[in-house]
């Protein structure tokens, strides 16, 4: 179980303009956090910082009180473009991560873990031997999710993982991730990047809205377990509908302020 604290975070690429500015967030272990905002506001950059792929220009990123100094298999990442090596089969992609995560473990046990992961995301054993080019977008993303959960990180970082998928596949994978997160004990801490308000409301236990670059937190809210909507109630619950309106208003207000 790992908590995350972001203190006074600002970031700019070398010689470039400021992208993130003065971000302060404290996240308890096991929360499902959605980072919501318009395209180009720095959400993916923020996730790269959490992954240890970039270093803050100013401020601190603390995981259980220790600074994040680089990438680690304690933080799994699911990208929008799947992140599967095209010259390796789906199974080999998962096995590569498992072998790095559990060095010295018997390969037969690792393969059993990989096959179990594929089954948990609704894929049969035949997918293990298929190359990414033989899979649909939804199947590739299921493989990426299976790989991320198979290495059992305490923190899962997801960068608009369903943005390129059709509406039906997207809904299936949203439900899948929620099920995997809720049924895994202890729960993983999830940071999920999206620009879709309805997706954030369906998935999140907390939502942070990022404004336009240089980005900072312009709004945040929590959705306690007894208030979280389901797919069936999302557009019927008056409290959720009011929150949806608030989120859209805050985003549009920020965009309008920048335009004017």
pLDDT at position 221: 94
Quick one: pLDDT at residue 186? 84
161-185 confidence digits (pLDDT tens)? 888 788 888 898 899 899 889 888 8
Token pair, residue 95, equals 């096995």
Q: Which two tokens stand for residue 25?
A: 């967030």
Q: Which two tokens stand for residue 232?
A: 């069936």
* 55 and 166 within one domain: yes
Query: Within this chain, do residues 46 and 167 fall inside the same structural domain, yes or no?
Result: yes
Number of structural domains the chain divides into: 2
Euclidean distance between CA atoms 151 and 2, whole angstroms = 16
Tell me if 247 sits within 8 A of 200, measured CB to CB: yes
pTM here?
0.91
Higher pLDDT, 257 or 205: 205
183 with 235, same domain: the answer is yes
Q: Does residue 210 register a pLDDT over 70?
A: yes
Reported confidence tier of residue 104, pLDDT bands at 50, 70, 90: confident
The predicted structure's pLDDT at residue 131? 96
Using CB atoms within 10 Å of the CB of residue 61, give its burial: 0 to 12 exposed, 13 to 18 middle, 19+ buried.
Answer: buried
Domain of 240, in residue numbers: 4-74+156-259
Q: What is the CA radius of gyration of the chain?
A: 19
**What is the pLDDT, as a whole number, of residue 224?**
86
In the numeric block, the tokens 């910082």 are attached to 49
Claim to verify: residue 210 and residue 237 sit in the same structural domain? yes
Q: What is the pLDDT of residue 260?
A: 61
- Of all residues in the chain, what percent carry a pLDDT higher than 70? 98
Say how many C-beta atoms besides its own lie within 10 A of residue 133's C-beta: 9
Integer Cα distance of 53 and 210 in angstroms: 20
Domain-ending residue, one of 152, 175, 205: 152
Any domain includes 80: no
Calculate mean pLDDT across residues 239-250. Answer: 93
User: What's the pLDDT at 1?
Assistant: 58
Instruction: Give the model confidence (pLDDT) of 1-50 as tens digits.
Output: 578 999 999 999 877 888 999 999 999 999 999 999 888 888 889 999 99
Is there a single domain that holds both residue 95 and residue 117?
yes
Nearest Cα to 150, choosing from 205, 80, 92?
A: 92
Domain termination site, one of 152, 169, 199:
152
Whether 256 has a pLDDT exceeding 80, the answer reads no
Give the pLDDT of residue 127.
94
Residue 70 belongs to a domain: yes
**Measuring CA to CA, which residue among 51, 57, 53, 50 is closest to residue 25?**
50
Give tens-digit pLDDT for 129-163.
Answer: 999 999 998 899 899 999 988 888 889 999 988 88
Q: Which of 104, 121, 152 corresponds to the end of one domain?
A: 152
CATH number for 46 = 3.40.50.300
Judge if 94 and 29 occupy the same domain: no
CB 32 within 8 A of CB 192: yes
> Are the C-beta atoms of 20 and 215 separated by less than 8 Å?
yes
pLDDT of residue 207: 96
- Indicate the average pLDDT of the chain: 90
Domain membership flag for residue 126 = yes
The reported pLDDT for the residue numbered 189 is 93
250, 198: one domain:
yes
Whole-number pLDDT of residue 13: 86
Per-residue pLDDT band for 106 (boundaries 50, 70, 90) equals: very high
In-domain check, residue 171: yes
Residues 113 and 143 in one domain: yes
């Amino acid at each position: 179980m790992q908590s995350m604290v972001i203190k006074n975070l600002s970031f700019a690429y070398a010689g470039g303009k400021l992208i993130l500015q003065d971000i302060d967030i404290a996240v308890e272990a096991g929360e499902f956090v959605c980072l919501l905002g318009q395209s180009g506001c720095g959400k993916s950059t923020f996730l790269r910082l959490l992954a240890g792929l970039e270093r803050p220009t100013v401020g601190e990123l603390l995981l259980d009180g220790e600074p994040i100094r680089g990438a680690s298999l304690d933080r799994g990442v699911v990208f929008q473009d799947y992140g599967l090596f095209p010259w390796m089969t789906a199974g080999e992609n998962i096995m590569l991560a498992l072998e790095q995560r559990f060095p010295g473990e018997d390969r037969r046990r690792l393969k059993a873990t990989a096959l179990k992961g594929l089954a948990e995301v609704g894929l049969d054993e035949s997918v293990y031997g298929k190359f990414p080019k033989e899979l649909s977008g939804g199947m590739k993303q299921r493989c990426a999710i299976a790989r991320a959960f198979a290495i059992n990180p305490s923190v899962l970082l997801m960068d608009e993982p369903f943005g390129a998928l059709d509406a039906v596949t997207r809904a299936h994978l949203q439900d899948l991730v929620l099920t995997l997160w809720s049924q895994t004990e202890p729960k993983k801490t999830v940071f999920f990047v999206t620009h879709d308000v309805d997706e954030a409301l369906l998935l999140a236990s907390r939502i942070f809205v990022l404004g336009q670059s240089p980005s900072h937190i312009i709004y945040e809210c929590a959705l306690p377990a007894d208030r979280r909507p389901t797919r069936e109630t999302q557009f019927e619950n008056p409290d959720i509908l009011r929150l949806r309106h608030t989120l859209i208003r805050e985003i549009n207000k920020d965009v309008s302020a920048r335009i004017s």
